[in-house]
């Protein structure tokens, strides 16, 4: 089950919320769904270097609210907010709506976001950096920021090889069957001169034990992975280091060797 289904779709309504928040009658549902897809496709193409993680679309009576989660808010806002105003006017033309509001939320830790990690790997592969090196650097930076585990799978003509293949790199744990595990997932691709390289990223941010806010725009303290990790086992780590340094019970200690000789 965990290998086949999208980990985000699997957790909807449990620990994750929907990225489109609106209600429509049966006759209007299809047109609004197509409009959502157009907005997301347009913004991802329009701001291709803006570090977009996700686009949340909300609709109220006659009003369209688009919230862009990004690691580089300065690129989207532009000088004096000119770029945002331009994007707003373009969205008005695309959706034929007069009242369009754009909100921009900054992602504090882009290393813990699957979309941004996958996009970073894709850009490096497009710039002819060795895919193994790019993936290992991404894995190291993600684990450094406090993730419990990460898995990256790349498929295609890796390194320009004649025959396409798949390779998987993983570190830590990513239990896909455990629904209370907060697992972020992304599927991106790199457009190289020798064809497309598909990149899948799974990032495990830890267990969600309490009731969680399902609003996708909610950025609370519960998502602060490294703080939670430090509170949970910071003391244990110090003790382990002390045990390794001490020579009392350690087989590497000099005193033990002398005792055994005697």
Lowest mean pLDDT among 120-129, 157-166, 222-231: 222-231
Give CA–CA dist 139/172, Å, rounded. Answer: 10
pLDDT tens figures, 15-70: 888 989 999 889 989 999 999 999 999 998 888 777 888 899 999 888 899 999 98
With a cut of 80, say whether residue 250 has pLDDT above it: no
Lowest mean pLDDT among 166-170, 210-214, 234-238: 234-238
Task: Provide Rg for the chain, Cα atoms.
Answer: 23
Q: What is the pLDDT of residue 251?
A: 44
pLDDT tens figures, 151-197: 999 999 999 999 999 999 999 999 988 899 999 999 999 999 999 99
The pTM score is 0.77
Give CA–CA dist 124/128, Å, rounded. Answer: 7
């Amino acid at each position: 089950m965990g290998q086949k289904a999208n980990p985000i779709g699997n957790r909807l309504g449990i620990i994750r919320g929907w990225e489109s928040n609106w209600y429509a009658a049966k006759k209007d549902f299809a047109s609004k769904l197509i409009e959502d897809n157009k907005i997301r496709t347009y913004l991802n193409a329009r701001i291709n270097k803006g570090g977009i993680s996700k686009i949340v679309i909300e609709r109220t009576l006659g009003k369209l609210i688009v919230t862009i989660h990004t690691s580089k808010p300065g690129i989207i806002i532009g000088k004096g907010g000119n770029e945002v105003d331009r994007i707003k006017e373009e969205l008005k033309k695309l959706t034929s709506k007069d009242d369009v509001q754009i909100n921009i939320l900054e992602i504090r830790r882009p290393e813990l976001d699957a979309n941004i990690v996958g996009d970073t790997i894709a850009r490096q592969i497009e710039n002819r950096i060795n895919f193994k090196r790019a993936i290992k650097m991404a894995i190291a930076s993600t684990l450094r920021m406090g993730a419990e585990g990460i898995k990256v799978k790349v498929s295609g003509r890796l390194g320009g090889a004649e025959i396409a293949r798949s390779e998987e790199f993983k570190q830590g744990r990513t239990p896909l069957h455990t629904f209370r595990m907060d697992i972020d997932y992304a599927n991106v691709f790199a457009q190289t001169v020798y064809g497309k390289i598909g990149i899948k990223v799974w990032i495990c941010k830890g267990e969600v034990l309490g009731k969680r806010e399902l609003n996708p725009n909610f950025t609370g303290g519960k998502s602060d992975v490294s703080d939670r990790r430090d509170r949970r086992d910071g003391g244990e780590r110090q003790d382990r280091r002390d045990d390794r340094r001490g020579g009392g019970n350690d087989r590497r200690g000099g005193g033990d060797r002398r005792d055994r000789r005697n």
